[in-house]
Structure 1
Amino acid sequence: MKGIYVLVIAIRKNITVKIGALGAISFRKGFYAYVGSAQNNLAKRLNRHFRKDAKRIRWHIDYLLAKDAVSIVKIFSKEAGKTEECLTAQRLSEFGFPIKGFGCSDCDCQSHLLLLNDYGLLEKTCVELGFVNFHLASESLH
């Protein structure tokens, strides 16, 4: 199944990460939302994001998720085409602070990653947009 997803990511301490051609980016401790898509196999893509082993670094999100201080705490997903990925990123950007250029090298979006300032509204909007909500970890988002 192809689809789009929103990863809710916890960064447990302030870190700086070299993100490919974007260079070094400083991330504050907190919760982030990343919008992505899988045009062939959504489950396989999501499973890949959980791996911390020596996977090939392919996307901006891979650089971030490889860090020990970073973990995925929740996933929202739905069956949808790639065009909905950008629409979702734009809609969710009102609930946080976009990290300029992150995850959007193949589109005209400002960002596909944002530091959340209102998790409750993000969750409510994802559900309204038809995403399925999967809780993955016990870290508190509230």
Structure 2
Amino acid sequence: MRGSYFLVIRLDGDKEIRTKGRTFRLRAGHYVYVGSAMNSLEKRVARHFKREKRLHWHIDFLLKEAELLRAYLIPSDERLEERLSLEVARRGEPVPGFGAGDVRVKTNLYRFEEEPDETLTEILENLGLNWKIVKSEADVKDMRW
């Protein structure tokens, strides 16, 4: 399955997240990461829930230090990552330079003071998109559309 996804992440305290080439200073709060997987959406999202993995993308380094609460899987043959990121940017505080290496937005990570689920469902409904919420790697593997 192809598509995009939101990861809803909680960072309990202020932290410096060091990736291979950068350091990001993040404040405590909720974060939404916008991603895409145009080959295997389920495998990509399941990987994000794994605690033990090779650290490759910026999000891997953040998830090592934070809690992944849930993911929204958004199946689509259309590349929606940039559009979704622009929508989340209107409501969240952007973290410049985080992710987004293959799209024309400045970031794919946004901070929210409160739980962002109401905002995310509003975005998805306004765009007329289908989605499912999963809370674990097992949920992804057991998911039925």
Partner of 1:88: 84
Do residues 10 (structure 1) and 10 (structure 2) align? Answer: yes
Do residues 51 (structure 1) and 50 (structure 2) align? Answer: yes
- CA deviation after TM superposition for structure 1 residue 26, in Å: 1.0
Give me the whole-angstrom Cα distance separating, in 2, the residues matched to 1:2 and 1:17: 29
Do residues 19 (structure 1) and 19 (structure 2) align? Answer: yes
Give me the whole-angstrom Cα distance separating, in 2, the residues matched to 1:82 and 1:56: 28
Name the aligned partner's letter for residue 25 of structure 1.
F
1:44 counterpart SS class: helix
Q: Across the two proteins, how many residue pairs are aligned to each other?
A: 133
Give me the whole-angstrom Cα distance separating, in 2, the residues matched to 1:59 and 1:43: 17
**Contact 2:3-2:79 within 8 A present in 1 as well:** no
1:95 counterpart SS class: coil
Matching of residues 1-142 of structure 1 within 5 Å = 1-21=1-21, 23-53=22-52, 55-67=53-65, 70-81=66-77, 83-117=79-113, 119=116, 120-129=118-127, 130-134=129-133, 136=135
**Cα gap change, 1:131 to 1:7, in 2 (>3 Å):** farther
1:111-135 C-alpha deviation (Å, 9 max, x unpaired)? 1000024623233213333142415
1:66 counterpart SS class: helix
1:42-69 C-alpha deviation (Å, 9 max, x unpaired)? 111111001111x1212110111112xx
Partner of 1:140: none
Which deviates the most, 120-129 or 43-52? 120-129
Name the aligned partner's letter for residue 65 of structure 1.
L
**Contact 1:77-1:133 within 8 A present in 2 as well:** yes
Which deviates the most, 82-91 or 57-66? 82-91
Name the aligned partner's letter for residue 85 of structure 1.
E
1:83 counterpart SS class: coil
**Cα gap change, 1:50 to 1:19, in 2 (>3 Å):** same
**Contact 2:96-2:107 within 8 A present in 1 as well:** yes
**TM-score of the two chains, using structure 1 as the length reference:** 0.84
Question: Which runs of 5 or more structure 1 residues have no equivalent in the other structure?
Answer: 138-142
Question: Which runs of 5 or more structure 2 residues have no equivalent in the other structure?
Answer: 137-145
Name the Cα RMSD after superposition. Answer: 1.8
Name the aligned partner's letter for residue 30 of structure 2.
F
